[in-house]
A = this chain, B = another copy of it.
Amino acid sequence: MLKLSRLTDYAAVVMAQIARYPEQAHAATELADAVQLPHPTVSKTLKMLVRAGLLESRRGSLGGYRLARPATSITTSDIIGAIEGPVAMTECSHADGDCDLVDTCGVADNWQRVSLAIRTLLDSVTLAHLAQESPLKLPVQLPIQSVTLASRAEV
């Protein structure tokens, strides 16, 4: 299904929640409660987000989590990357990829382009966009670049 892992989804939900009140620090318990998810699980994703540099944490009483950067400069690929690793559709689309077929499969190059296109798209959607609560009607256009695919004239 080409789908996000559930944890990644949680991460997005939690990040959005934080983004809506960026000034305050949010305790894991509080967040877990707000999004109706088990505390340990939320806690785990929060830790991952911190490690990826998307959140800052503060221990002790009055501690909690807050955004490391403004919501407008955190992208969905950042979030996905924090939980699942870099966005890459095929084995050969990321740095550590190691596929035996890379020389013979004949599609590696093009998959990589597609992968890049998706990454670009996800880069253009920020946490600020995600956190918009209601289905806004305002047509905020995301500039999704055309991505060059190797192609022959016939297209």
Among A39-47, A48-56, A103-111, the stretch that binds chain B is A103-111
The contact string, 1 if C-beta is below 8 Å from chain B, for chain A 141-155, is 111111111111111
Inside 8 A of A4's CB, which chain B residues have their CB?
2, 89-90
* Residues B104 and A36 in contact, CB atoms below 8 Å apart: yes
List residues 11-42 of chain A with CB under 8 A from any CB of chain B: 12-13, 16-17, 20, 35-37
Q: Which single member of B100, B114, B140, B154 contacts A76 (CB below 8 Å)?
A: B114
A contacts, CB < 8 Å to B: 1-4, 6, 9, 12-13, 16-17, 20, 35-37, 76, 80, 84-91, 93-94, 100-101, 104-107, 109-111, 114, 117-118, 121-122, 125, 128-155
